[in-house]
Structure 1
Amino acid sequence: MQIKDILLAPGNGAFFYDDQKAIRSGAIQDGFIYVGAPTTPGFKSIRIPASSVSVGLVITDDTVVWGDMVNVQYSGAGGRDPLFDTNQISDLTSRIVAPRLLDVDAFRFRDSCTTVFEPVEHQRLPLAVEYGVSQALLRAAAHLRRKTMAEIICAEFGLQLPTCRVPIYCQSGDAREVNVDKMILKAVDVLPHGLINSRQKFGVAGQTFMEFVKWVAARTRQIGRPGYHPVLHFDVYGWIGQEIGLEPQSIADFICKVADKVPGFTLNIESPADFGSTQAQVENYARIVSILDDRGSSARIVVDERCNTLEDIRLFAEARAAHLIQIKTPDVGSLADTAHAVLLCKENKVGAYVGGSCTETDLSAQASVHISVATQADMMLAKPGMGVDEAFSIVGNEQNRLLAMLNRRRAQEKNIG
């Protein structure tokens, strides 16, 4: 057996877990905290520090490879798993997952995931467990086969070694103006996220949001280097639907109005509305996409909430209920499912965005880079954290190192051939 022991270590996520329902209901910010009572089960306050649990696989040569189990910022919202409980996750991993790990053939990543993530009493394991353990299993396969994690994915999914970089998307958090400047100076491919998660930030009839969109476009021209032309991507956390109403035609009209304010830019609008269920989300997002396409709009709809697991992603992709699907890695679970999800989007000619959360860790971010590059996703999130510098360097540097290794591998194979 290639795995001879399992280690667990408590850790921190790079941001905070937030009670989205309480924030949507008007919770007031006081400095960095939110004032008021939480409303989502499991939250003892509206904002709490993100936690994680690292799982280490001790290989027979005594190398230890790690993965990080963690949930997303808005846990318990939009059909997602409940708030991360360190003790519960550690106990379940020790009792159920660890014995399974000792029995797998760690050379075979996808087979190992299938074995280890078998349901328990007809219930799927917490997705945070799948996420962290699959990171460790991917690193184990890469170590044992003397390959990069990306090469393991390419081999097991029958993909060619990639040659192109994947565009990187940064998120601003609440320090919008300062972080937008950072993104522009660093020539980020896709920006700025914006964190438009309250009525105050969206404004009456969306006026505050529209002014921000115009400012970002103007600032890009003002301080960006010559020829810099990023994609503008704004996450509005359902506020178009909350403020304008849930009629797809009205939502599409508003989005077109925003796109008209920034001619020449591709505009991504993430989570324009929350229709309350996955099926309602699929049906109504498909109508919004159709309206925008018929108008020839430069705006693109990005789905996040209600599109969590691989099966959810399949529903949205096959219905073309988005121009771009966020494959939110901790919500998808196994990294094998994330790779499958990207390929599923490509089959259905829908954009694939390998996202995730600010609550993640350096290890989970680096593993996500390998999935993104191997499958040639349309873009990937700079993570973890809500700052620009750290996340952009972690994801960007890992991508550059990976592409350098893959170029060397290609040259070696060419010489042998």
Structure 2
Amino acid sequence: ARRVASLPHALVDNIPEQLGSDGSKLVQYARWVKERIQALAGADYRPTIHLDAHGALGQIFDNNLGKVLGILYALESAVKPYPLRVECPVMLASREAQIDAMRTLRDYVRARGLRVQLVADEWANTLDDIRAFVDAQAADMIQIKMPDLGSVHNAVDAVLACKRGGVGAFLGGSCAETDLSARVSVHVALATRPDMVMAKPGMGVDEAVMLTQNEMGRALAEMAHRRAAQ
């Protein structure tokens, strides 16, 4: 059976159906994911549950960070004992406002003693953006969207900037990428060692995981062969 370190990276983009007016539907979904893991995988599999809110938590609570904190608490409680990451819980109108809101929400999380990790995505598009989020300590992890960065060396620099700043690096991108860009991502990951790599392309699961893991396996096997031949 395939096992990944983080799942399902579910995109929350339909508030009435996926969240509800108070976020309760998302909490129910998170609990269902936990129960499916327990039913199908056993006690030795402990993935991080990763939800991409795409700013929706802020939408339903009019960016009231205290209320957003409340739903983060409910989500963390729903998925225990598994770790939780929530990507882009709020989405503001500028980079500066986004950084300020994410940093404040992260402070609230710490003050409340929660363990949920906040992931920056929106407004962290360029290398300069990513460095600004890192400098402000506005997230526990940043999604590094390789197509947005414009070049492979910028993606490398972004991962290294996160690592230097003590922020988790999520080497990600888009479901609309190609198999070639996905394989390039694998080699960037092997060179820079981010905390997480997105399985891509596509909106499915097995195909993207297979492509990413197979490319990583091939590269590691070739490296081992070359070392043995020296």
TM-score range, shorter chain: over 0.9
Measured after TM superposition, the shift of residue 217 of structure 1 is: 0.4
The answer as to 2:116 corresponding to 1:324 is no
Q: Which stretches in structure 1 are left out of the alignment for 5+ residues? A: 1-184
- SS of residue matched to 2:22: helix
**Which SS does the other structure have where 2:8 is aligned?**
strand
- Which deviates more from structure 2 when the two are superposed, residues 366-375 or residues 396-405? 396-405
Question: Separation in 1 of the partners of 2:226 and 2:168?
Answer: 28
CA distance in 2, matches of 1:296, 1:343: 29
2:195 maps to 1:378: yes
Q: Tell me the equivalent position of 1:228.
A: 45
The equivalent of 1:191 in structure 2 is: 7
Q: What amino acid maps onto 2:209 in structure 1? A: F
TM-score by length of 2: 0.95
Identify the residue that residue 94 of structure 1 maps to in structure 2.
Answer: none
Deviation at 1:250, TM superposition (A): 2.3
How far did residue 226 of structure 1 move? 4.4
1:311 has 2:128 as partner: yes
Name the structure 2 match of 1:336.
Answer: 153
**SS of 2:143 mapped into structure 1:** strand
* AA in 2 matched with 1:364: S
CA distance in 1, matches of 2:67, 2:226: 52
Deviation at 1:412, TM superposition (A): 4.1
Write the letter of the residue equivalent to 2:190: V
**Counterpart mapping for 1:211-226 below 5 A:** 211-226=28-43
Alpha carbons 2:49, 2:79 under 8 Å: kept: no
The answer to whether the 8 Å contact 1:265/1:298 transfers is no
Q: More helix per residue: 1 or 2?
A: 2
Shift of 1:245: 2.4
Q: Does 1:396 align with 2:213?
A: yes
Inter-partner Cα distance in structure 1 for 2:141 and 2:214: 25
- Out of 273, 285, 299, which is 2:116 matched to? 299
Deviations 1:204-230 (A, max 9, x none): 201111100000001100011441111
Secondary structure of 2:119 counterpart: strand
Q: 1: distance between equivalents of 2:213 and 2:42?
A: 19
Paired letter, 2:14: S
Alpha-carbon distance in structure 2 between the residues aligned to 1:409 and 1:249: 55
Contact 2:127 2:158 survives alignment (8 Å): yes
Q: Quote the residue 1:58 is aligned against.
A: none
- Size of the aligned set, in residue pairs, is 229
Deviation (angstroms), 1:405: 1.8
Match of 2:23, SS? helix
Asked whether the 8 Å contact 1:245–1:251 carries over to 2, the reply is: no
Corresponding residue for 1:204? 21
What secondary structure sits across from 1:352 in the alignment?
strand
Amino acid corresponding to residue 193 of structure 2 in structure 1? Q
Bigger Rg, structure 1 or 2: 1
Counterpart AA for 1:284: A
Alignment of 1:145-294 (within 5 A): 185-199=1-15, 200-294=17-111
In the TM superposition, what is the alpha-carbon distance from 1:404 to its structure 2 partner? 1.5
Root-mean-square deviation (Å) = 1.3
State the Cα deviation string for residues 365-389 of structure 1 (Å, max 9, x = none). 0001100111000000000001111
2:94·2:123 contact (CA, 8 Å) conserved in 1? yes
What amino acid is aligned across from residue 171 of structure 2 in structure 1?
Answer: V
The one-letter code matched in structure 2 to 1:198 is N
Read off the aligned partner of 2:65 and give its amino acid letter. P
Higher RCO structure (Cα 8 Å, ≥6 apart): 1
What TM-score comes out, normalization by structure 1 length? Answer: 0.53
CA contact (8 A) 1:292 1:299 kept: yes
Deviation (angstroms), 1:407 = 2.4
Shift of 1:304: 0.7
